[in-house]
Structure formats: C-alpha cells, structure tokens
C-alpha cells in the first residue's frame, strides 16, 4: 500500500469513519524511573531522567522541544489551535494531548526525535561514500537527518492526536455534552491529518526512496499496532482473553517500537552507512523503545505515590506476565475476587499483582531490552553522543 493511500485510510482505521470503537484516552507518561541495568554505569551518567534528556539536547545542538516548531506555528495549525480553545472546560481528551505538546515537562513526547539526532551524531559521516561530505552539517549532524527527526516527531504527534478520538457510543454523563465530544473529534481528525500531511511533504523533500519506504512501513506498523491495542483493550471490560507475552511483544513493537527503530535506520541510510550499521541503529531504536514502554507500564506498580483507585492497563507488561505465571483459571479467580458491585477494584487487583512475579519479571524484561540496546551501541565509536544514548538506556532500566 502506498503512503498516500495509507494516509487516506488512516482516519478510518482510527475511528473517523463511523463511530470509533472505544474511548481512546492516551495516558500521560509518568516520569521515567531511574533504574539499574546489569551493566556498570559511566561515572558521568546523570541519574535523573530530565537531566539525562537536557544533557543529550546540548549534544545535538538545540532543544528537541522545538523540533516541530515550524509546523506548530504555521497559519493552518494556528487556526486549528483557535478551534481547540473552544474545548476548554470540556472533558475531551484532545485538551490533555494539547497541553502535553505545549508543556512537556517530562521530556517524553520529543524523545524519538532526540534519539534519531543522537544516533546520527554517534555514527557520524560514512567513510564509504564521499558524496555525504557535501551535505550541510551542524554539530555533527546532517541537515537531512535533522529533518528526519522532525518528521519522526510529526508522525508520533499525529498518532497521539488521533488517539484523542472519543467513542461516542461509550459516553457517560460525566463526559459532558455530546456536541462537545463531536466537535473535539472533528478537530482531532483534522489536526492529526494536517501533521501527517506535513510529515509526508518532509519525506518527499528528502528525496530518498528507501527512507520513504522505511517511514511508510513504520506508519503502517503504528496503525496495525493501534488497531490491535484497540481490539484487546476493548475486551478488558469483559476479561475474555489474555494475550500472552509473545503477542504483547509483537503488538508493542508495532505500536511503540517500529517508528523509532526504522527512523534510526533511516538516519543511517541518509548518511550512506552500510547495512550492518543500519541494522545496529535499528536494533538500538527497537530495544530502547521496548524498554521505555515496559518502564512506563511498570509505573503504577512501583511508584511510591500512586492513586490506588486509578485504573491501569490490564494488557500492560506486568499484568500479562502475572497472568502467564498464574494460568488462566487462577487469573480469572483473582479478577473475580477483585470485583466489587460489578466493578473492578483496581487497588485490590494492583496489590494482588504486586505480590506475584509479574512485576519483577517485567523489570527483568526491561533490563533485557536495555542490555540489547547497549549491545547495539558497541558497534559505534565512543563519543559524547553514544554516551548520551547509553545514559537514556540506564535511565529507563535502573529501578531504585
């Protein structure tokens, strides 16, 4: 399927044609825990996530919080922003997404672009192709690689916006008037499509067929991953099936890992690096994204201050692993014991899961992917950029 056809069908996949299947509220990512991998940390590695990201931004030349600034300040998106203001005071999830884009104090939304820039600098120019020397280079990164980082962020942001589409069939009285949700859905579809259109235009300007193919396949993976996420989450309320950790890994790679992995590979292609270097960049992006996702899944179970009444994803890594250890029958028994007046008591279920092996196994899995990411980095020469990439892994795989 061509990229153009995929973009035309994307709103339909995400719920724009006909009523969406469910309420797609994108949970805010908590601050990433500082935790320990099995490897020795460099003495210069900062422990705090925000410090890790801030120091990495200095290495690549400018804060990635300005990554998509040119697009976000365009006249078209400014007009959309004026419409989004009309949602103030409503419960539409697009407002939460918009606030996160403007004030990303946890440095999670722009992480993908930052990693693309860092791995571009870590690899440097290709020694096999002198034509790359003609490219503009700033802070050790080609201008085309910076453009790729922006495109990666645009695609990711567009998917975040599209996930703000509300299932009108599942509205409750606490969600507010129907007309507010309908209006918010229209704005979510329009603004997400606008960002994707800008991403496509940027890809075309790169004039590299392989890079276009890589990012198009990443976008298809994202759509497929979100579709499966949507399907399995829709079954949560009925607890009808467990997906298994192998299926979880496949779905998580599609929805969270493919974009970063293929963007890292594309950055190497733009610098004309050989297939081996491209594969190592892909492996780093894949395993770092998987580790980051598992860390995010673990937050409800390891945070010192957690609102016990807040629901958590029953298809998150710790829960899936907990189910596998227990078996289907015991898991269903625990679900039944956590039911109160027909509703699931998440506080009680959380404590039950924490008492099992799922959380510790998820931590081990997080460290496994972190170590695989570090192994991929060993093929790159030592540098500040490589150290920053290592520090990002250390920050998501050290649990205190």
Q: Which two tokens stand for residue 171?
A: 């509205």
- Contacts of residue 75, Cβ cutoff 8 Å, sequence gap at least 6: none
Position 275 in a domain: yes
User: Does the pLDDT of residue 64 top 90, yes or no?
Assistant: no
Residue tagged 């980082």 (tokens): 149
Residue 41 belongs to some domain of the structure: no
In a domain, residue 50? The reply is no
pLDDT band at 43; cut points 50, 70, 90 = very low
Beta strands in the chain (DSSP E): 137-138, 141-142, 339-340, 343-344
Q: What is the pLDDT of residue 30?
A: 39
Please state the separation of Cα 24 from the chain's center in Å: 15
Q: Which of 79-83, 173-177, 311-315 has the highest mean pLDDT?
A: 311-315
Q: Helix-strand-coil percent breakdown of the chain, rounded to 5? A: 65, 0, 30
Is the pLDDT at 99 greater than 80? The verdict is no
**Which residue, among 7, 14, 12, 65, has the nearest Cα to 199 in the 3D structure?**
7
Segment of 6-10, 54-58, 199-203 carrying the highest mean pLDDT: 199-203
pLDDT at 108 over 60: no
CA gap 115, 345 in Å, rounded: 39
- Top-confidence residue, 61 or 28: 61
pTM of the model: 0.80
Least confident of 153-157, 167-171, 264-268: 167-171
Q: How far is residue 8's CA from residue 13's CA, in Å, rounded to a whole number?
A: 10
Assigned domain for 105 exists: yes
Query: Based on the structure, what is the number of domains in the chain?
Result: 1
Mean pLDDT, rounded, for 176-189: 80
pLDDT in tens, 197-244: 889 999 999 999 999 999 999 988 888 877 666 655 544 444 545 678
Task: Look up the domain containing 313 and give its range.
Answer: 59-397
Asked if the structure places residue 101 within a domain, the reply is: yes
Residue 387 sits at the vertex; the CA angle it makes with 382 and 392, to the nearest 5 degrees, is 150
* Residue listed under structure tokens 């490589």: 386
- Position 382 pLDDT exceeds 90: yes
> At 156, phi and psi to the nearest 5?
-60, -45
Lowest mean pLDDT among 70-74, 147-151, 364-368: 70-74
Domain assignment present for residue 38? The answer is no
Rg, the chain, Cα only? 21
* Contacts of residue 48, Cβ cutoff 8 Å, sequence gap at least 6: 34, 395
- Is residue 131 situated within a structural domain? yes
Are 396 and 291 in contact by the 8 Å Cβ rule? The answer is yes
Is residue 342 scored above 80 in pLDDT?
A: no
Q: Which residues, other chains included, contact 9 with Cβ-Cβ below 8 Å and sequence gap of 6+?
A: none
Does residue 162 lie in a domain region? yes
The CATH number that applies at residue 118 is 1.10.600.10
Q: What is the pLDDT of residue 125?
A: 87
Distance of CA 311 to the CA centre of its chain: 20
How many C-beta neighbours within 10 Å does residue 46 have?
A: 17
Structure tokens, 96: 């939460």
Residue 308 — pLDDT band, cuts 50, 70, 90?
Answer: low
For the chain, the average pLDDT equals 78
Q: Describe the crossing of helices 178-206 and 209-234 by its angle, rounded to 10 degrees.
A: 160
Please tell me the predicted confidence (pLDDT) of residue 2.
47
Output b/e per residue, 86-124; b: 16+ Cβ within 10 A: ebeebbbbbbbbbebbeebebbbbbbbbbbbbbbbbbbb
User: What is the pLDDT confidence band of residue 194, given thresholds at 50, 70 and 90?
Assistant: confident
What pLDDT is attached to residue 84? 67
279-307 pLDDT per residue, tens:
999 999 999 999 999 999 998 898 776 56
């Amino acid at each position: 399927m061509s990229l153009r056809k995929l973009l035309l069908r994307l709103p339909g996949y995400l719920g724009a044609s006909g009523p969406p299947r469910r309420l797609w509220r994108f949970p805010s990512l908590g601050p990433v825990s500082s935790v320990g991998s099995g490897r020795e940390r460099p003495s210069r590695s900062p422990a705090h996530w925000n410090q890790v990201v801030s120091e990495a931004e200095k290495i690549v030349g400018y804060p990635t919080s300005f990554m998509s600034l040119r697009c976000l300040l365009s006249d078209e998106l400014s007009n959309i922003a004026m419409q989004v203001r009309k949602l103030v005071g409503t419960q539409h999830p697009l407002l939460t997404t918009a606030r996160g884009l403007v004030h990303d104090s946890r440095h999670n939304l722009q992480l993908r672009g930052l990693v693309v820039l860092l791995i571009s600098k870590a690899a440097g120019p290709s020694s096999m192709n002198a034509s790359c020397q003609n490219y503009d280079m700033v802070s050790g990164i080609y201008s085309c690689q910076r453009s790729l980082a922006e495109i990666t962020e645009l695609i990711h942001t567009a998917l975040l916006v599209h996930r703000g589409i509300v299932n009108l069939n599942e509205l409750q009285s606490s969600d507010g008037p129907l007309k507010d949700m309908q209006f918010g859905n229209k704005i979510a579809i329009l603004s997400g499509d606008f960002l994707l259109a800008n991403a496509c235009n940027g890809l075309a300007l790169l004039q590299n067929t392989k890079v276009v193919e890589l990012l198009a396949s990443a976008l298809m993976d994202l759509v497929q991953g979100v579709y499966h996420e949507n399907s399995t989450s829709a079954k949560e309320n009925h607890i009808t099936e467990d997906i298994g950790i192998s299926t979880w890994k496949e779905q998580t790679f599609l929805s969270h890992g493919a974009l970063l992995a293929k963007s890292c590979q594309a950055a190497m292609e733009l610098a004309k690096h050989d297939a081996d270097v491209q594969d190592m960049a892909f492996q780093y992006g894949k395993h770092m994204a998987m580790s980051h996702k598992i860390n995010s899944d673990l937050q409800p179970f390891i945070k010192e201050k957690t609102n016990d009444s807040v629901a958590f994803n029953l298809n998150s890594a710790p829960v899936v692993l907990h189910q596998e250890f227990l078996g289907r029958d015991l898991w269903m028994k625990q679900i039944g014991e956590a039911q109160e007046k027909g509703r699931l008591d998440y506080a009680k279920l959380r404590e039950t899961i924490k008492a099992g092996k799922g959380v510790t196994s998820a931590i081990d899995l997080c460290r496994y992917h972190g170590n695989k990411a570090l192994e991929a980095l060993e093929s790159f020469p030592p540098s500040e950029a490589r150290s920053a990439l290592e520090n990002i892994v250390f920050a998501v795989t050290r649990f205190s």
